[in-house]
Amino acid sequence: MINLSPEVFQSARAIVSPYVYHTPLLTSRLLSEKSGFNIRLKAEIFQRTGSYKIRGPLNKFAHLTDEQRRRGVICSSAGNHAQGVALAAKLNGMRAVVVMAENATPSKIEATRAYGAEVVLHGSIWDEANEKAKQLCEERGLTYIHPFDDPDLIAGQGTLGLEIYEDWPSVEVVIVPIGGGGLISGVSMALKGLNPRIRIIGVESSGAPAMKLSVEKGELVTLDQVDCVIDGLKVKRVGEHTFDAVRQFVDEIVALPDSEIFDAIIWIMSHCKLVVEGAAAASVAAVLNGLIKAPAGSRVVCVLSGGNVNLQQLKGLKWN
């Protein structure tokens, strides 16, 4: 059973903080008025690489052996994890290989290469790219960096929660998007370790509610299919560590369709003047659609987990 201590998160912060930005908590008068809550936005969109995903790898790499660091690391990803691993490896003077699907967004491929990683294109979906990554891991002696199901990675992501508490100790509710569960696992454990009364609410796409269904069933569920186009939320099966953490430390999970999350992207752009990706908009979408049940005036943080918008995807959408 995973239960990382406050000391683990403080240690992770000491490792991570020299390289990451302490991103701001932005007030949102319009969202507060619309919801009846006192809302602030944790703007991880301003983080290096454009998302929180650099935090976990930075902490993970600090726990590798000298031999592992010398040989280098490998991961598979379509976007944010790739860039997080690539930059974290560069900052640590390590070699990084990233396997991406052949149809990955060209801008994401270019960004990952720009951070110094070797990019290998393989397959048409993440699962195929991931199998290739595991093959290369064995062939080249590299260390595989999981996108979410690793305690060291989770501890690194949880440093985001420490920043929220430092900036707003009286926070009462924190809303976090859920893909594989690494971010919400770290944030929930870090915050509950500081104040167990803080409510943690997760948000999934209703087309890919792998964590919600797993928690409801009491065991890990693998979805037969995923009706979700948002990269950061499109997961068939969450991790063993993340499932365990969410069961212990997350108070509630809500889900809503992609269309309502995309509407939230536009609302945030229009009213908050911020560019957010789909997964990041999920927290605000839950507020806009009345899914967050809390007393009026509650101090609420919506985590905007990243700002790397897939512009090609947006071009294909039809807005009302």
Buried b (16+ CB within 10 A) or exposed e, 214-246: bbeeeebbebeeeebbbbbbbbbebbebbbbbb
pLDDT at residue number 320: 47
Given 3-state DSSP classes, what are the helix, strand and coil percentages for the chain, each rounded to the nearest 5? Answer: 50, 15, 35
The CA dihedral of 174, 189, 258, 210, to the nearest 10 degrees, is: -150
Three-state secondary structure call for residue 235: coil
Q: What residue numbers bound the domain in which 46 lies? A: 6-51+151-315
In-domain check, residue 12: yes
Active-site residue identified among 53, 132, 212, 234: 53
Domain contains 1: no
| 220 and 295 inside one domain | yes
- The DSSP-derived string for 14-53 is HHHTTTS----EEE-HHHHHHHSSEEEEEEGGGSGGGBGG
Answer yes or no: do 206 and 87 share one domain. Answer: no
My answer on whether 246 and 300 are in the same domain is yes
Distance (Å, whole) CA 52 – CA 34: 27
Q: Tell me if residue 305 is catalytic.
A: yes
Residue 75 within a domain: yes
Task: Determine the pLDDT at residue 12.
Answer: 98
> What is Dmax (Cα atoms) for the chain?
57
Give the per-residue pLDDT at 312.
Answer: 63
pLDDT at 122: 92
The structural domain count of the chain equals 2
pLDDT tens, residue order, the chain (320 aa): 899 999 999 999 999 999 999 999 999 999 999 999 999 999 999 999 999 999 999 999 999 999 999 999 999 987 799 999 999 999 999 999 999 888 777 878 888 999 999 999 998 777 788 889 999 999 999 999 999 999 999 999 999 999 999 999 999 999 999 999 999 999 999 999 999 999 999 999 999 999 999 999 999 999 998 899 888 898 899 999 999 999 999 999 999 999 999 999 999 999 999 999 999 999 999 999 999 999 999 999 999 999 988 666 555 555 44
| 40 and 58 fall within a common domain | no
Verify that 184 and 283 share a domain, yes or no: yes
Do residues 106 and 23 both lie within one domain? no
In a domain, 320, yes or no: no
Instruction: Clarify whether residues 194 and 284 are in a common domain.
Output: yes
Choosing from 85, 113, 144, the residue where a domain stops is 144
Distance CA 35, CA 164 (A): 20
Q: What is the pLDDT of residue 201?
A: 98
Q: Which of 188, 190, 189 shows the shortest CA–CA distance to 166? A: 190
pTM over 0.75: yes
**Assigned domain for 136 exists:** yes
Q: Would you say residue 78 lies in a domain?
A: yes
Among 113, 144, 175, residue at a domain's last position: 144
State how far the alpha carbon of 104 is from the alpha carbons of 107, 108, 124, 251, in Å.
9, 7, 8, 35
Both 176 and 266 in one domain: the answer is yes
Q: What is the CATH number of the domain that holds 91?
A: 3.40.50.1100
> Does the annotation mark 28 as catalytic?
no
Query: Do 229 and 185 sit in the same domain of this protein?
Result: yes
Whether 160 and 64 share a structural domain: no
What does the pLDDT read at residue 313?
55
Residues 275 and 298 in one domain: yes
274 close to 41: Cβ distance less than 8 angstroms: yes
Catalytic one among 76, 77, 188, 305? 305
Per-residue pLDDT, 83: 94
Same domain membership, residue 140 and residue 104: yes
Of the residues 95, 126, 144, the one at which a domain ends: 144
